[in-house]
Chains A and B, each alone.
Chain A
Amino acid sequence: DVKVTQSSRYLVKRTGEKVFLECVQDMDHENMFWYRQDPGLGLRLIYFSYDVKMKEKGDIPEGYSVSREKKERFSLILESASTNQTSMYLCASSWDRDWNTGELFFGEGSRLTVL
């Protein structure tokens, strides 16, 4: 059974703080993704990675960066958190080499509140 684990379920940070969201998958998946979920806006892709040390911008990368030093771990970084980054963050992974058609396996989500 695929497991995607996000390090924190709930975080409260202050404006300007640096925030790290960690995600680990245990199925040797090639591809990893960070989505942001907001009511009425669905899931929006922030960044994705199809290989170690590779990263690609999604639809809303502004204010975020990512790191993938190991295949199983994909980190989302908010260099200077702002209140408009208060949201639910979902990590996902997929195996399919034709990765745009592979099933996404999601983590439980990290709810970030920026005060």
Chain B
Amino acid sequence: GENVEQHPSTLSVQEGDSAVIKCTYSDSASNYFPWYKQELGKRPQLIIDIRSNVGEKKDQRIAVTLNKTAKHFSLHITETQPEDSAVYFCAASMGNDYKLSFGAGTTVTVRA
């Protein structure tokens, strides 16, 4: 089945700096790559997603890039703010059997 690896597991950044989280996937048939944010004690929520027909997508301070050849995708957060502190999960759809597989998560801490 699909295997999604996510790095780093923890990330501490100074407020205003950028944060980058990287994920790799194993199934070349995967075609959908969402990112979810989970604040402490809250439910995960979709923040951005990308499909395999595009290489980059932006939404204000967040962006996702996809390299299908290398089978990896990344989340970029610019000008980080305290409210960006959360656990971020990447995910990939498996294509043939339609399962959404999640990475292990990255705990991001933004230092004031």
Contact status of A59 and B1, CB under 8 A, knowing A40-B9, A101-B32, A101-B93: yes
Q: Is the CB of A42 within 8 A of B93?
A: no
Question: Which of A4, A43, A100 is in CB contact (< 8 Å) with B102?
Answer: A43
Interface residues on A, range: 20 to 34
A106 partner residues in chain B, CB cutoff 8 A? 43-45
Q: Is the CB of A42 within 8 A of B43?
A: no
Number of A-B contacts (CB under 8 A): 54
| Chain B interface mostly | strand
Question: Which of A41, A104, A108, A109 is in CB contact (< 8 Å) with B100?
Answer: A104
A42 partner residues in chain B, CB cutoff 8 A? 4, 6, 89, 102-105
A4 partner residues in chain B, CB cutoff 8 A? 43
B34 partner residues in chain A, CB cutoff 8 A? 103-104
